[in-house]
Each structure stands twice: as C-alpha cells, then as structure tokens.
Amino acid sequence: MKKPSKLCGSKIRLVLFVSFLCLASCASYDGRSMKGENPTDTLDALVVMDPESENQENTFSKSSTTQLGDLASQPNEEKGESNLDLDPFQGIGGDSDINSETLSGTIGEIGSYELTFPQISDTPADFAINGAIQSVADKIYLNFAAELAEMINEGTPMGSSDLVGEGRIIFNNGYLLSVLFEGSTDWGGAASQQLWADSIMVDLSNGQVLTSENLFQLEISTDWKELLAEKSYDLLIERLGSEMIWNEGLLPTGENFNNMLVTQPGLLIIFDQYQVAAGVAGTPTVIIPWVEIAAIINPQSRIGELVIAGGSLEIN
C-alpha cells in the first residue's frame, strides 16, 4: 500500500488560520464524583445515577496510550477578543464547576462496568451539555452489554468480563469542550485486553454535539481526509516506525478519521486498536499542529467561531 500522497507544503502555508492569533489556554479542573446506582442484572437494565457525590481520585487505573501530556493543566492566559455574534454570557467560562459521575454496575454474573465522565454545573445549558457527554458513556456501556448478549446467544464459554474507562476534558476555552474517553475491556476467557477510545466535542452555548466535519472547508480542491491521512502517516512513522504501520487504516475515508478532537496544540486524531498498527500499540494517537492543516480549516464554521470566541490555538 502506498503512503498517502503528499500535498505541496507551500500550498498549505498560503492559508494561515489568521483567526487563531489570540492565545487562550484550556484550564485545569478539580472534580468530584457521583457514583451511579447498580442496575438489575438484565442486559437491558436502565442505569439510575445516584445524586450523592463524594471525593474521588482518578478511577481509571489502566495506562492510557494517548500521548497528550497534561493538556488540561496548562496555565490560563489572556483570552482573545470575543466574537460579537456569540453571546458572551453563554458557555462555561472559568467560573463553573466540573464534577464527575460514574456509570457502574453488573450484568448478572457475566460482566461489570465502570465508566467515569465529567459533568458541568452552573451554566445555562447544563442539561444538554451533560446529556451529550453521558450519551458517550451510555453508548460504550450498551455496546458492551450487546457484545455479552451475543456471546451468550452463541453459547460462547466465558468467564466474567470487565469494562472500565474514563472521560476527561482535554480542551475547554469556555465555548468549546473536547472530551476524550479511554478504557479497556477484559473479555472473560480472552487472552488479551481490548483497548478502546471515543470522543465528543460540545458547543457550550447550547450543548450541541459538533462533528469533525464542522471544522473543515469542503468546497476546496484539497480533500481534508487526504491531508489528515498524510500528516497522520508521517507522525505514526516517527512514533512507531514504518514496519509497524498498517496503511489500510490510514486510507482517506471518513470512517478512518471519525474520532478527532480540538486541542490547543493541534488536532488530535485517535485510531482504534488494530486500525493502523498491531494490538500492542493500543489506540494510537497523533496531534497535527494547526499550522500544518491551516489550508483546510474553515474559520467560519461553528467550531471555528467557538475557538475564536474563547481565544486561539497554538500556531507556532
């Protein structure tokens, strides 16, 4: 399989994401946890969240494969001038609380799950924002339960399976929130652990879920997927070596590049385990600096507006 075709470097540099010139960092947050009540032992059980909260350390003990550093703990800096088209009183800003909830329980004697994720308070759109974030945890849990049900129906011999994971905020400029979910599944009877990752970007003014396609210019000759494939290939080669890369998972398709998040240093792309490399590589990630993909960014998109409103990204 050939390496994704390279685009002319000079063409990329022609278009600078000039709207990203006012620098603002994402803030760090301390959280509290809210434990979920265990559901009944049926696969279609509804989970009821316990409203009581308690102090909690990081519940995700599995090692993460994402090379992000501590993006959420960078110091606050002066924000750029807000977009006048956006309501300055919307968004979570720097005064709202970030708590954590835990969706946990057992599925009969065949499985257990524990998923911790952030929740927002003291914003006009709390309900929509928190519902969007929790929907990712719900999806992960339901997929786990469905897999167990399928194994039972097929008569697959198995012991108890365990799902554990955590969602964490990796970008927050008061207008746009990026949340990365990472975790692992130990399937009963399986020889190895399965790692997984998921993500969500939320408009903090109304709780709307934003997809990666909202970020790119679609009416230009340069296909955003081709450029991301090229940049991802180069970065993965640096990290893993050319002999480790599986090119099929880097083909410029929407399916291969559907797990992305805005972060301050660049666009974070998360690949599934076994998508671009052997399972030992976990869920590989790359962060493509903004200046390298400026030509395909649409500053007038909703994501672009929210980034500009809260301050810029790093472009150096």
208-265, pLDDT tens digit by residue? 999 877 889 888 888 999 999 999 999 999 999 999 999 999 999 999 999 999 998 8
The proportion of the chain whose per-residue pLDDT surpasses 90, expressed as a percent, equals: 44
Contact 202, 177 (CB under 8 A): yes
Q: Which long-range contacts (CB under 8 A, 24 or more apart) does 43-52 make?
A: 43/107, 43/145, 43/146, 43/148, 43/149, 44/145, 45/105, 45/107, 47/103, 47/105, 47/138, 47/141, 49/101, 49/103
Residue 294 included in any domain: yes
Residue 50 included in any domain: yes
pLDDT at 225: 94
pLDDT at 42: 32
Residue 70 included in any domain: yes
**Does the pLDDT value for residue 26 go beyond 50?**
no
Residue 60 included in any domain: yes
Containing structural domain, residue 277: 9-310
Residue 285 included in any domain: yes
pLDDT at 68: 52
Residue 211 included in any domain: yes
Residue 212 included in any domain: yes
Largest CA distance in the chain: 61
pLDDT at 224: 94
Q: What is the pLDDT of residues 258-296, one digit of tens each?
A: 999 999 889 999 999 999 999 999 999 999 999 899 889
Mean pLDDT, rounded, of the chain:
75
pLDDT at 218: 83
103-127 core/surface letters (b: 16 or more CB in 10 A; e: else): bbbbbeebbbbbbbbbbbeebbbee
Contact 148, 161 (CB under 8 A): yes
Residue 106 included in any domain: yes
- Cα of 239 vs its chain's centroid, Å: 20
Residues listed for the chain: 316
Q: What is the pLDDT of residues 164-209, one digit of tens each?
A: 999 999 998 888 899 999 999 999 867 668 999 999 999 988 999 9
Question: Checking DSSP bridges between strand 97-107 and strand 33-36, what pairing results, if any?
Answer: parallel
Instruction: Give me the number of domains the chain comprises.
Output: 1
Q: What CATH number is given to the structural domain containing 113?
A: 3.30.565.40
Confidence of residue 86 (pLDDT cuts 50, 70, 90): very low
